[in-house]
Structure 1
Amino acid sequence: MSADKQWQHTTVLLAEAIDAIATRADGVYIDGTFGRGGHARALLARLGAQARLFVFDKDPEAIAEAHALAAADPRVTPVHASFTAMTEALAERGITQVQGVLLDLGVSSPQIDNPARGFSFRFEAPLDMRMDTTRGETAADFLARADERQIAEVIRDYGEERFAVSIAKALVARRTGGSPVRTTSELSQVVARAVKTREPGQDPATRTFQALRIFVNAELEDLEQALTGSLTLLAPAGRLVVISFHSLEDRIVKTFIARESRATVDRRAPFAEPKPMKLKALGRIKPSEAEVAANPRSRSAILRIAERTAERTEA
């Protein structure tokens, strides 16, 4: 069985996302997280011959698949980079406005299910966790250099783990004893001994693995930067469509849309006209019961939709 068949990805909220974003058949669009191309292919099927689709991904395997799609469809332009680079990448090509930005956050099934990537405690593998395997620090490298306070902060802040201090102490103690954690199973075992209780059905290591993955890939910082970039790029009536999979991501998206959906008053000039809102929130969608039954990994997904207002006073 080939790797492509073995590590397949089921696209979440596919119809809902495409219905939300595909407002102009001849528009310019961004898929900021190509993954295995489920959303991109469905969007292309709704677009006309003059449309353009820029697809971004940090993962070399994903971007290789994007290049294969581009070879068959001249409307597609792959960019091997984080979606934080989209404003710059489009500016280099003379594009300053787009009709839609789609961000499908988190980790894809092929990344989770491929043991070599080190994302999952279900498989024995080097503790890597980088989405872009060509650059950056691995999770094992971070645990080898960080002090107890830094490790605890990462696990607490990005994993919402109440036993973060105990886990950090155990990891540092093991490292001090000459056996730093280098594999997924070693990390899982350390966490299992340090975590006293856990919700039924949840592996003790779940929150720690999530925390390290988010930290290593700067996921939350990148998300905040990408949302700001989207606001700069969206044309009037252009759509921002974001699918998140955990509360930390969704909180950032929800807060951003809420903030940009309000008119703001300059307190230094209280009698001046308020600055108009830049976005209009259009909705929040959860997967249907049928989708969750067919793809349990979709159960935590939340899709949020916002539309750029006609006013672009900052331009």
Structure 2
Amino acid sequence: MSLVALLALAVTGCGSGKTAGTSDGTPTKQAMMDEKQATERAQEVVQEAVAGMSPKPSLRPTGPRPLGECLADDHSAGERLQVSLTYQLTGVPGQDAKKLVRQARDAWVKRGYEFQGPDGDWSDPFPSVSMRTVTDDFWMTALTGVLDKTKQEGLAAISVTSPCFDAEESTTTDPASFRQTVSDRQAESRAREHSSRVYDALRVPHGPAQEGEGLATYREEGDVYAHHAWSTQPITEEMTARALDRARAHFESSGWSVRHVPAATGAPGILARNPGDGSVAHLAPAGDGTLRVGVTTPAARQV
């Protein structure tokens, strides 16, 4: 499974507890800036976090396309845009991931930025923290994706999202350059289709959308992935085990390769791969009793 997908699931599971903005956790302030200014400021916020880090990580860009439609706008036709930058902090031991997240938090606190929820749980080997800049309303998250739970090894990442700004202010030479390609849309369609079949197999009601859930397109080292994430309503451990059994039977009967993976609570989760189109599905029981589902589909079959 790509690290992009794992980090997307980590964001879905952590919950920032934000009290401002919209239900999907995006800043709503209308910014008087263009794409270039938004990108430069987002990069500045990232550098503020990593400049004094020890050990010194390398920044590996990943995540969604940097320029996209404003996620706070329902049924957007592209009138407003926003910039989102995500970097994995690579080149350091996995056991230092927690340290890097805390150092990012300390650097942002030093500059007077505000928390968008409680401070990180620093007793947790895989903490996360969400904050915002006070004067211009950029939102940022530092988090730890789990690489090896037994060894407490993780991968730190930083994401910064700008407030929305008018598309007319964008300096992009092609106004439609942020829009999806046919290949992107095909990958999203396949991800949704696989996700729908998982829903049918689980036979558990869909829960309210949580932060970080929904459909998104990600890029990693030139490859493009569609990722669809959602969660069920809270259910008992017995119901969870039965639902996972039904999901496993669905995957196996459809030719997916299936293995169990440790979960944060209760029954082990499921990691399944479709050999036909390279899609990966991850079903994970969460501490709140829900089942978290994520399906990642490459835009072109990976070899």
TM-score (norm 1): 0.24
Larger Rg: 1
**Structure with more of its chain in strand, by fraction:** 2
**Structure with more of its chain in helix, by fraction:** 1
TM-score (norm 2): 0.25
